[in-house]
Amino acid sequence: MRGTSAAAFRRFEPLLPWILPVLAIAVWQLLGSLGILSNRIMPTPVKVAEAAVRLTLSGELPHSLAVSTWRALAGFLIGGSIGFLFGLVNGVARLAEKLTDSSIQMIRNVPHLAMIPLVIVWFGIGNEGKIFLVALGVLFPIYLNTLHGIRSVDPGLIEMGRVYGLGRGALYRKVILPGAMPSILVGLRYALGIMWLTLIVAETISSKDGIGYMAMNAREFFRLDVVVLCILLYALLGKVSDLMAKGLERSWLKWHPHFGKPRANPPAA
Amino acid sequence: MASAFRQAARKSAGRLIGAPEPGDGPDRPQRADGPGGPEEGVGTKSRIVTEFENGAFHGVGPDRRVRGMSIDLRQVTKRFGNGPAVLEGLNLSIRAGEFVAVVGRSGCGKSTLLRLMAGLEAPSGGVILRDGRPAAGLDPSARVMFQDSRLLPWQTVEQNVMLGAQGLGRKEAREKARETLRLVGLEARARDWPSVLSGGQKQRVALARALIGNPRLLLLDEPLGALDALTRIEMQRLIERLWLRQGFTALLVTHDVAEAVALADRVILIERGDVALDLAISLARPRVKDTGFAHFEKRILDRVLEPDGRAGAQAERVYPI
């Protein structure tokens, strides 16, 4: 009996996270249809879906999505690489850390969105400004977590690597980087969140296309269905980046008892 | 066979400390090699039994293939920073293929001694000779086994063992790793992550990693300290078996006097930065806890537990160096 119910639970387990969102949408639609929630304040899910179809057919939605995604990824790659490199170098070289760390910390403490006015003057309202801001926002969590990850690699393992004749390159590849990886991936997850946040704010304030622009524009014309659609898109995009980060964790940290799939062999006592 | 063991043990129980006996010389009955000859790799077990039957009790007897490294420490001093000397003017000579155990109270510098021999630390004074040549830094033919296994958690058991086979091709290293894992009885776990192994299994993997490169010197830094009593005994037997088979020089740092007596040809006590006792253990292998064993154990323990008042006294040297 217990076995069958456990099996049933396992079959429905993947659906569990979806129960709450689906329920919320159902209640929302119900309130709207009954007239309790005015359409002028909050359009119903059906209205939002209609807007999505209309904007998709007109090509506006796919274009905005593509533009925003491209900016996000470009900024992420640039900022992430710089942060990773600085973290890596400062993690092993005392001199480099002494030289750069305090400057990086100072810049980090400036809210990067406060630079928007300056960025508009520098780059105008094209792609460069957004990519710059995203890169700036993403750099620090990656930098900090890479540095921390490298610092927290067990010195015993590094000593072991030396005893077993690993060269400098092999020591990095086999001991230091994999050891820092859990921490780096935490930084990556933070960075992905900051990536979307920065981009949307930047696009809302100064832009001529992208999802943020679409939302801002819709507000001007009081198209609340489009505004709600944009908000839902943010939620979805955030979820997608989170899934990507989780996928990376699962494939890069499969040795970790926390992330790996349970093995056929039970842990020995 | 079992009776042969017992006979051998009885024969040697009477032998105590002293110069090598006439029986150890070349006039001892030569081993009758089977049709397989003395090549390596022929049935481990039978090979060791043959050695026991021929009475190669010290492990340095002429019919055990010795390929170990000899080590000489001359007036070695080690201090960290401006602190007091951890080791001071220490002299120690270890013959090729010998199994030496180092005991002493915690903090006496026995681990420092091991790290100096490994090349992980440089002496502040004096010289260390490996095979008669001054040592400089790490030696690829010396391997260390630490108290914690220090396996890389992100590599499988097999990959961890392959780490000890630097310079070999990938395929060759993998074959060798399988072979070495078979020696320690963990062939079946080759593809597992270290995190699913027990403490004893992890140390066996660490042992395989140390032995895969056929080291000439194996340095054991309390490798069994964290294991339970039964696993310890198993590991001691395994280490002894592999040492007999592979002929490397072994240095075991331990706080367990019984373990030292069970494994070593010589037990060395470090006190106040110098050798305070250097005692040859002339018991038959494999060692059983008989009266001879108890004699050595008590003797070393008594010396360890002696009040510090005797510090100025002459170091007790029994072994002829």
Q: Side chain identity at A146, as an amino acid letter?
A: T
Question: Testing the interface with A: which of B150, B158, B212, B222 to mutate, by most A Cβ within 10 A?
Answer: B150
Q: Are residues B96 and B227 in the same domain?
A: yes
Assess: ipTM above 0.95.
Answer: no
Domains of chain A listed by start with CATH number? 44-252 (1.10.3720.10)
Last residue of a domain, which of B159, B183, B214? B214
Low-confidence stretches of chain B (pLDDT < 50) are 1-62, 309, 311-314, 317, 321
User: Number of Cβ pairs closer than 8 Å across A and B?
Assistant: 68
Residues 6+ apart with CB under 8 A from A147: A86, A87, A90, A91
Looking at the complex, report in whole angstroms how far the Cα of residue A268 sits from the nearest Cα belonging to chain B.
Answer: 5
Please give the pLDDT value at position B157: 95
Please give the pLDDT value at position B27: 39
Into how many domains does chain B fold?
2
Q: Are residues B305 and B164 in the same domain?
A: no
Reference A229, options A48, A29, A47; nearest CA is: A48
CA A49/CA A44 separation, integer angstroms: 9
Q: Are residues B244 and B111 in the same domain?
A: yes
CA B42/CA B54 separation, integer angstroms: 17
CB contact under 8 A, B154 and A255: yes
Please give the pLDDT value at position B105: 87
Last residue of a domain, which of B174, B195, B214? B214
Looking at the complex, report in whole angstroms how far the Cα of residue B17 sits from the nearest Cα belonging to chain A.
Answer: 35
Q: Are residues B84 and B227 in the same domain?
A: yes
Would B28 be classed as within a structural domain?
A: no
Would B47 be classed as within a structural domain?
A: no
Would B104 be classed as within a structural domain?
A: yes
Q: Which residues of B touch A162 (CB under 8 A)?
A: 120, 138
CA B211/CA B229 separation, integer angstroms: 24
Q: Are residues B131 and B258 in the same domain?
A: yes
- CA-based torsion, B133, B139, B140, B141: positive or negative: positive
Would B100 be classed as within a structural domain?
A: yes
Please give the pLDDT value at position A260: 62
Please give the pLDDT value at position B254: 93
CB B208, CB B149: distance < 8 Å: no
Order of strands, sheet of B85-94, starting from the edge strand that comes earlier in the sequence: B85-94, B71-79, B125-130, B133-134
CB contact under 8 A, A166 and B120: no
Task: Please give the residue range of the domain that contains residue B167.
Answer: 151-214
CATH number at residue B320: 3.40.50.300
Low-confidence stretches of chain A (pLDDT < 50) are 1, 262-269
Q: Which residues of B touch A267 (CB under 8 A)?
A: 195-196
The answer to whether the predicted template modeling score (pTM) of the entire model surpasses 0.80 is: no
Q: Are residues B185 and B299 in the same domain?
A: no
Last residue of a domain, which of B165, B196, B214? B214
CB contact under 8 A, B144 and A165: no
